[in-house]
Structure 1
Amino acid sequence: DVSVLLAPPRGDAADRAPQTGAPPPQEAPIVAQLRPSGVTIAQAQPRPADQAVTLDLVSYSDEGWLEISGRAEALRRLRIYANAVMIAETWVAADGRWSTRAAAGLAPGDYRLRVDLLGDDGAVRSRVESPFRRESVEAATLAAGQIVVQPGDTLWAIAENRYGEGVRYSVIYQANAARIRDPDLIYPGQIFAVPDPDPSADAQR
């Protein structure tokens, strides 16, 4: 198994990557566990009191299944939608975590991913939404040096995590120029190549 630290989602405003200045403070990272069976949340901060449901992780299985995870009120039922079409239904575990595999047949393209938390009467009590880009099954097979963009990620945050400096987001942008039309706008579910840190650049700092 492999553990990965991921920055937690920061809301819709965080879908846009800042080009200058540091991003605002955020809660502690989420620890994701990468297993052959998929990605699960191994360790995370308690769910924010004002959020009944969160969408924390997006990944792909080797077979191309879309895998999503998050936190919510324990023992509640969830329905997951892509552009208003339900693609999965699951229950929140007793520890407040949830994960599911969505339809493998979801065609590549841009979607609005939505997670609805249902009450005892079946009515929607809370929801969370995020833009999402479904990659093709072929592209969804990660190679060395690639990442899946997560809810709340920005180019700045990815560069800060990888290189220690958010201002080096342009390195990631240039490596993925064919996939990024606007460096201020990236989507969860996209797969990016993240070049190794340049030792010469580190030595000059």
Structure 2
Amino acid sequence: MKQTRVLGMIIGGLVLALILFAGVSLSGRWGVSTGGGSEAVAPIAASLTPVTFTRVSEITVDGRAVLQLSGLAEPSSVIALLDRGDRLLQVRATPQGVWSARLNVTGPGMAVEAILFDTPPSDAQSDTSQITSDEDLEAMTSIRGVETIFRIHRATDGDGTESALIMISTPGAPTRLVQSPFNGLPSNGPLAMGAIDYDDKGGVIFSGVSEVEGRVRLYVANAAIGETRVGADGRWTYIASSVMPLGEYEVRAELLDGVGNPVVSVPFERLPPLPPSGSDDGSLSVSFSSYRWQIRRSLVGGGTQSTVIFAPE
């Protein structure tokens, strides 16, 4: 009887091991994507460090606006910087995986994407080596960047003064504002609301900051849609699908467990999807007003993604 019980335990263990092995094999075979409407990004091998932007700033050199960029990438790899498909510059990461570059601001709307090339040509030896042809780039293994820097400006009051927006967009994550033309965020006491990102299907990413702990409840057109907790770093994010109807209405964020439960409200508008055009070149369109900028860009594979930023008042 005892031997039969031991044998049964061994057989049961083998069956469980086979089930776990099959589950691991399937999970490695099939990818899972989250977030609606974001551009699909090629998977990055676990052995490679993806290219990212760690610091972005703007300076003036000889009277011209210049973007200063730096980031991390696979050590000694080549990083190509593109503006909606147009190649601007290539740089090589150091053996420590650090890279930097300066780009002249070329127009009222830039969308700078970094692409990692992990098998650079043998004649590209220096940190600032230039790749002279598109064929050189196409011959290498490329991994499309997962972040894009948008630099958008317009002249105001007819005096040539520029109001400039610099933001970093990552598929499936909230937009990070580096520089706002409004010099601040909509806020009430300790609570502030950042950019709102949405797609053609009504999926949305809310984000903001809070100086105190607690939970943030989101309202769309006076209907509560959900809550999220303020993180240890003071930031909060809420992601939902198919909750933003077309048209204009108020969007509110309320800090729960705060002193007086402060509320921040903004005048939001979800624009209708654009007719299919077959364009996936990352083209931009911007709606300007004194209290709201709305940026729309086409995505590879179709569809659009929009980001809305608001004035503090």
TM norm structure 1 = 0.51
Residue 147 of structure 2 is matched in structure 1 by 2
1:111-150 to structure 2, matched below 5 A, reads: 111-119=249-257, 124-136=260-272, 138-139=273-274, 144-146=282-284
Contact 1:106 1:134 in 2 (8 A): yes
2:219 is matched with which residue: 73, 77, 81? Answer: 81
User: Secondary structure, in 3 states, of the residue corresponding to 1:106?
Assistant: coil
Instruction: Please give the alpha-carbon distance, in whole angstroms, between the structure 2 residues aligned to 1:148 and 1:76.
Output: 34
Contact 1:54 1:71 in 2 (8 A): yes
In structure 2, stretches of 5+ residues that fail to align are 1-145, 299-313
2:204 corresponds in structure 1 to: 66
The correspondence for 2:233, drawn from 95, 118, 122, is 95
**Letter aligned with residue 255 of structure 2:** L
Deviation at 1:47, TM superposition (A): 8.4
1:148 and 1:189 in contact (8 A); partners too: yes
Equivalent in 92, 102, 107 of residue 245 of structure 2: 107
Alignment of 1:166-177 (within 5 A): none
Could you tell me how far 1:73 is from its partner in structure 2?
2.5
| Aligned: 1:39 with 2:174 | yes
Instruction: Give ranges in structure 1 of 5+ residues lacking alignment.
Output: 8-16, 150-154, 156-183, 194-205
Q: 1:57 to 1:145 in 2, by over 3 A?
A: same
Asked which structure has the greater CA Rg, the reply is 2
**Counterparts of 2:294 and 2:283 in 1: how far apart (Å)?**
16
3-state SS in 1 of match to 2:170: strand
Contact 1:6 1:31 in 2 (8 A): yes
The aligned amino acid for 1:135 is L
- Could you tell me whether the CA contact under 8 Å between 1:6 and 1:32 is conserved in 2? no
Report the Cα offset of residue 139 of structure 1: 4.0
User: Aligned-pair RMSD on alpha carbons?
Assistant: 4.4
- Distance change (3 Å), C-alpha of 1:77 and 1:65: same
Amino acid at match of 1:66: V
Q: Which residue of 1 aligns with 2:192?
A: 54
Secondary structure at the aligned position of 1:38 is classed as coil
Q: Please state how far the C-alpha of 1:145 moved relative to its aligned partner.
A: 1.7
| Maintained 8 Å contact 2:188/2:264 | no
Whether contact under 8 Å (1:78, 1:90) holds in the other structure is yes
Residues 27-65 of structure 1: CA deviation (Å, up to 9, x unaligned): xx6743412x23343868998997411111111247540
In structure 1, C-alpha distance between the alignment counterparts of 2:173 and 2:297, rounded to whole Å: 19
Q: Does 1 or 2 have the higher relative contact order (CA < 8 Å, sep 6+)?
A: 1
Q: Do 1:108 and 1:135's aligned partners in 2 also have CA atoms closer than 8 Å?
A: yes
- Whether the 8 Å CA contact 2:148–2:168 is kept in 1: the answer is yes
Q: Distance in 2 between matches of 1:63 and 1:118?
A: 29
- What secondary structure is seen at the aligned counterpart in 2 of 1:75? coil
Counterpart CA distance in 2 for 1:88 and 1:133 is: 19
In the aligned structure 1, how far is the partner of 2:252 from the partner of 2:163? Answer: 25
Identical aligned residues as a percent: 23
1:69 deviates by 1.2
- Alpha-carbon distance, 1:102 to partner: 3.7
Amino acid at match of 2:222: A
May I ask how many residue pairs the two structures share in their alignment?
Answer: 145
